[in-house]
Structure 1
Amino acid sequence: MLGILIHEKERLEIQYLLKREMDEILYDLQDSRIDQVVKRAMKERYQILFSLLTRVAPHNECVNYIISSKKKEGI
């Protein structure tokens, strides 16, 4: 386990970067040209990023990035 001390401005920047990366992954998951193996790796990365987001963002902002099981099947 690691700990880190950051300023509020840095926390907001980390939150912004995580959200931006997660939005890109969600967009790319809808692209039919991307192979399923690659999409599976993207989903794993998304889960890691979501886990990080829950540590730096308020709950009400994390809720927007939860992927429901029905949505997972469609993506």
Structure 2
Amino acid sequence: MLGMLFNEKEYKELDYVLRKELDEMLLDMGDHRLDQDIRHSIAKRYKTVFQMYARFAPSKELSKYVRRGWFPQAKQ
């Protein structure tokens, strides 16, 4: 396990970078023009970045990035 210390400015920058990366990956995973293998690779990376973000993000903010596919939804 590795540990890191951030000052407030660095914390905000890391928060911003991770959120933007999650947003971009969500868009890419929804793009059906991309090959299934590529989208699968993006999904694996998304999981890693999401876990990093989950270590310090508030639960309300984190809920915006939870993928529906991770939790079964009732079909309508």
Give your verdict on TM over 0.5: yes
Identify unmatched segments of 5+ residues in structure 2. none
Q: Are the aligned partners of 1:11 and 1:56 in contact in 2 as well (CA < 8 Å)?
A: no
Q: For the residues of structure 2 that align with 1:71 and 1:3, how far apart are their CA atoms?
A: 30
CA deviation after TM superposition for structure 1 residue 58, in Å = 1.4
Residue in structure 2 matched with residue 13 of structure 1 by the alignment: 13
Q: For the residues of structure 2 that align with 1:8 and 1:38, how far apart are their CA atoms?
A: 35
Structure 1 stretches of 4+ moved >3 Å: none
One-letter amino acid matched to 2:63? V
Higher helix share: 1
SS at match of 1:33: coil
Residue in structure 2 matched with residue 37 of structure 1 by the alignment: 37
Task: Encode CA deviations 1:9-59: one digit per residue, 9 max, x unaligned.
Answer: 211110110010110111111212100000000000000000000112112
TM-score, scaled to structure 1: 0.86
TM-score, scaled to structure 2: 0.85
- Determine what percentage of the aligned residue pairs are the same residue: 38
Q: CA RMSD in A?
A: 1.8
Residue in structure 2 matched with residue 51 of structure 1 by the alignment: 51
